[in-house]
Amino acid sequence: MQKSLYATMRALPGQAEHLAGLLRDLARDVRAEPGCVRFVVYRLESDPAFFHVEETYRDAAAFEAHIGMAHGRRFNDAIKTLVEGGASIVTFLDPVA
């Protein structure tokens, strides 16, 4: 069964463009993972400092491999001083239909 989630984060003042660049780099790296089905980064139209990332992995094992990747650890370390709360907020999803 696929593993899906979304992550949200709000850039601190003056950090939105830097965060957008880091997210573009992360998207490139995650999309290259063999178990990645979907990785899409959005920016709120009404609040360009707010980012929403949708992710789907082939299965739980692919997600576990994803969280062990060095590029993800680098991204999470980098955003500690760039986003509110020092991290993204992750919400896991279960399919309905």
> What range does the domain containing 42 cover?
3-93
| Residue 15 pLDDT | 98
pLDDT 10s digits, 15-71: 999 999 999 999 999 999 999 999 999 999 999 999 999 999 999 999 999 999 999
- Both ends of the chain: CA-CA distance in Å? 13
Give CA separation, 59 vs 17, 37, 56, 65, 68, in Å.
Answer: 32, 9, 8, 10, 15
Tell me how far apart the alpha carbons of residues 43 and 52 are, in angstroms, rounded to a whole number: 6
Residue 89's CATH number:
3.30.70.100
DSSP code string of 60-95:
HHHHHHHHT-HHHHHHHHHGGGTBGGGS-EEEEE--
What's the total number of domains in the chain? Answer: 1
Tally Cβ neighbours within 10 Å of residue 34.
9
| Residue 11 pLDDT | 98
| Residue 62 pLDDT | 98
**What is the token pair recorded at 82?**
């760039």
